[in-house]
Structures are given as C-alpha cells and as structure tokens.
C-alpha cells in the first residue's frame, strides 16, 4: 500500500511539474492602450473611462486636465472601453487581443475619443451609437494593433446619416 501511495505521489508530482512548465512556456503579450478624450477639439477633464473585460468592469478612471487615459490589456481577451461625460453621448471602443499569432511583445495603441453633444442629437435616431464606434484588433501582416477599416467606414457612414437627419430638422 505504501508503494502504491509513493508511486501515485511521484506521478502526480511529475504531472503538476509538467503542467507548470507548460504554463510558463505560454507567451503572453501586453497591449498598452491609451488615448485622449476631446470635445470640439478641446481636452475634456472629468470624463469617466471604464475598461470592461467579459462584460465586467475591471478598471476605471477619471481623466485629468491632460484628458489622457491608459490601460494595460493582456493577450487572448476581449475588452471594451467606454467613455462618458455628463451632457455627451457615451462612446465605446471594442478591442480584441485574441490572435493565433505567437505574440510575446509589448504593443502600443493610442487613439482619440471625440465626444458628441447629447442635446444636439436628441431628436434623431442615434441608436447606432449604442454599438462601439471603433474596433481594434491585431494585424499579423503589420505586426501591430489597428482599426478595423471596414467597421470604421460603416461608423463614418452612420454618423454622416445622423448629421443629414440633423440638417433636415433645422
């Protein structure tokens, strides 16, 4: 019985050690995601910037006078950054760090969030802004994180339609 226990303990120890070594060999990358919050080309202090991972808030901050925010995002996850400020429409940016590429570097991505006046668009259909205004993902050919160009064009078209509706109501 003692021999069986001894051999079982050795097998379990070897299994645990090999799992630990496999865990250490997994390469993880980090994406430093930063940006600025503007409204009418001016820096916005006091904007609430929330970072979501799997639909749960994992970090949040208020912008200071420099209007800057920054988060570290880890590979193999999906994130959402939501920016809000009293009197403006909330803006969301989706970031996908899942990739089949073997990443082990630190990446950087910076963007500007340009908040829109909520009162200006209160009488038109702005439901498209319930969705992210940008999608950011890894591009293996560029070896960097980039905006999804097709999605960005769709958002621009939606904003153009909103502004056309706004002009018709004037």
Say what the pLDDT of residue 124 is: 84
- CATH code for the part of the protein at 27-169: 2.60.40.10
User: Tens digits of per-residue pLDDT, 121-162?
Assistant: 888 888 888 899 999 999 988 889 999 999 999 999 998 988
Q: How far apart are CA 48 and CA 90, in angstroms?
A: 10
C-alpha neighbours within 13 Å on the C-beta side of residue 105: 10
C-alpha neighbours within 13 Å on the C-beta side of residue 20: 6
pTM of structure:
0.79
Tell me, rounded to whole angstroms, the distance of Cα 119 from its chain centroid. Answer: 27
User: Tens digits of per-residue pLDDT, 21-48?
Assistant: 444 444 568 899 999 999 999 999 999 9
Q: In degrees rounded to 5, what are phi and psi of residue 25?
A: -80, -10
List the domain boundaries for the chain.
27-169
């Amino acid at each position: 019985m003692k021999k069986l226990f001894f051999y079982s303990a050795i097998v379990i120890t070897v299994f645990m050690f090999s799992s630990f070594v496999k865990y250490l060999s997994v390469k993880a990358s980090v994406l430093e995601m930063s940006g600025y919050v503007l409204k009418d080309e001016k820096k916005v202090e006091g904007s609430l910037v929330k970072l979501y991972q799997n639909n749960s808030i994992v970090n949040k901050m208020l912008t200071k006078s420099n209007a800057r925010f920054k988060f570290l995002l880890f590979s193999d996850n999906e994130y959402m950054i939501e920016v809000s400020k009293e009197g403006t429409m909330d803006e969301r940016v989706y970031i996908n760090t899942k990739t089949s590429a073997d990443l082990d570097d630190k990446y950087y991505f910076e963007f500007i969030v340009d908040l829109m006046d909520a009162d200006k668009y209160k009488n038109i259909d702005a439901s498209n802004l319930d969705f992210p205004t940008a999608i950011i993902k890894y591009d293996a050919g560029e070896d960097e994180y980039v905006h999804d160009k097709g999605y960005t064009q769709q958002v621009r078209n939606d904003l153009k339609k909103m502004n056309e509706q706004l002009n018709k109501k004037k």
